[in-house]
Amino acid sequence: MCGIIGYIGKREAAPIMVEGLRKLEYRGYDSAGLAVLSGGRIAVRKCSGRIQDLQSHLAENTPSGVSGISHTRWATHGPATDNNAHPHTDHSGNIALVHNGVIENYQSLRDVLEAQDHVFHSDTDSEVLAHLIGYEYYKKTEPDTQERLLDAVRAALRWVKGTYGIAVLHAELPNVMIGARLGSPLVVGLGKGENFLASDVSAIVRHTRDAIYLNDYDLVAIGPNDFDVYSLDGGAAQFEVSVVDFSEEQAELTGYPHYMLKEIYEQPESVLNAMRGRLSIEESTAVLGGLNMTAQELRTIDRIVLTGCGTASHAAMVGEYLIESLARIPAEVEISSELRYRNLPTDRDTLMFALSQSGETIDTLAAMREGQRKGHRVLGICNNVASTIARESDGGVYMHAGPEIGVAATKSFTSQVTIMTLLALTLGRMNHLSASDGKTIIDELKAVPEKIRTILKQDAQIKKIAQKYARSKGMLFLGRQFNAPIAQEAALKMKEISYIYASGHPSAELKHGIIALVSPETPCVFIAPDDSVFEKNVSNIEEVKARRGPVIAITTEGKTELERICDDVIYIPKCPDYLSPLLTIIPLQLFSYHIAVELGCDVDKPRNLAKSVTVE
């Protein structure tokens, strides 16, 4: 979840790394630092706080040099302090390392090294890895060479249990930087007379769009003009040079105050991109060639398991309703962090889908591998074409949502739900949906982007409602059927960025205990579109109002009767039940956003969170 950027070339390294760290700050922002090869030694500058704190720290004392490594931290072992910030050096001070991941056996390794008189200056697991590389390096007395450093990194990593994405420098080797990856993403950026290492291409896309996405157990040695990729066992490794599919401009704010608001407003286009080229009017179905399955193979599927974490799991829950409703195939959602350790009974003809915006979510990746280990076909739904899930899955569907920088997921959620709808349509047309049914679904899907634009025009009204409730101590979000997962997703958004306690539930569960929380100080947000359970939702709203609870309703245009019983009402355009989640979530994203802004919260970098969860 931490961010790494390394540079080796002809330009001053420090400014390039600081700029890159700003692009990676969504991955962690507890502390930051850099190490530059300067005058035959490693100059380290680091501090707790945000990138701007590091920049202030560097203002009067920026090390000069053309190669360096840098890091922005999301704390795992040890609090956010200057000493725990990366980079870390080995016992000699000649080797510097930045690390993303978790070394699970760090304490036993530390005990071994302390017995060898190594002195540690932090509470981190990462410093142990720096010392371990130094220990292996200085076991030998041969001349300083790239091969000696590679061998030391390779030997050190064989001791390690856990995950890592690392970049390593040696003071006596100015023309080489070593990287390695297991479980934590690492990409090599290829420039002209310069090369890069980074956790994410967003940090380097300004300088190059040619990238190599390292695989697990890969090591790389890069210089200004060359690179070599190796396997941990010492041989050469296979790699592919990819072209980054987005520009620097797409990852910029472009006039918005926050990335989250920008990404909310990008949803008409991102939803359109998710279905672009995938709708067949002639066949009244969706065309998902990336599934790598024939129609005959898809027809044999008798059960679908959807897995993801956080927002992706909520998109999967909507997918469960969609698949069972439109395709009549049993579907279930398993939280990835639980599935990876469960012995889930699965039939031979079970198909699994792994949902992850980044394609690097460690729990989802582990759940996918567990499914494959049991002989199931596992397909990925992710936004990063070159991610680990995209590369290791048996097929899948790309979201094409463009970069999502805000930590709180917005457009990735609606893109995932759109793809779930396309999947349900595809499977439904193979089972019981008629051609006219399929055409109706396609026509309704194509209308969704413009309907989202209509909702966005209510932003000012939603802002006023948000300001009214911003000082609430807690909130309840309630919905039924297709919108039960939306209640959970809306509650998650509220918790993530405003720090207001919120919980999401099926509306009918209100009377099974949740109603005890209803009070004049606890607003209830009801997602009550004009659907098959609208009257049931109205009854639940009446129960809340009878107990003097404030109610905000999200409902369909024309359902003005809710204005008589609710304190505030936000309208969405008419749509079928199965597409309502794509519309009801939009005002709820704006609602959470404006509450967080009103409270002065850091919307794009909420406390304790990071965007891509690559550690367990």
Where in the sequence numbering do the catalytic residues fall? 2, 611
8-state DSSP, 1: -
SS3 97: strand
End-to-end Cα spacing for the chain: 10
What is the Cα–Cα distance from 204 to 212, expressed in whole angstroms? 12
For residue 256, give both structure tokens.
Answer: 């918005």
Q: Which residue has the tokens 């371990």?
A: 132
3-state secondary structure 156-201: HHHHCCECEEEEEEECCCCCCEEEEEEECCCEEEECCCCEEEECCH
Burial environment of residue 290 by CB neighbours within 10 A (0 to 12, 13 to 18, 19 or more): middle
**CA distance linking residue 95 with residue 93, whole number of Å:** 6
The rounded distance, in Å, linking the Cα atoms of 248 and 374 is 41
Amino acid making up residue 113: L
What angle is formed at CA 66 by the lines to CA 142 and CA 169, rounded to 5 degrees? 35
| DSSP state, residue 522 | B
- Rounded Cα distance, 291 and 393, in Å: 10
Q: Dihedral of CA 586/591/592/593: which sign?
A: positive
List of residues 6+ apart from 615 with CB closer than 8 A? 1, 76, 100, 101, 102, 163, 184, 362
Q: Which residues does 172 contact at the CB level (< 8 Å), separation at least 6? A: 40, 94, 144
149: nearest Cα among 225, 64, 222 = 222
Q: Under DSSP, is residue 222 helix (H, G, I), strand (E, B) or coil? A: strand
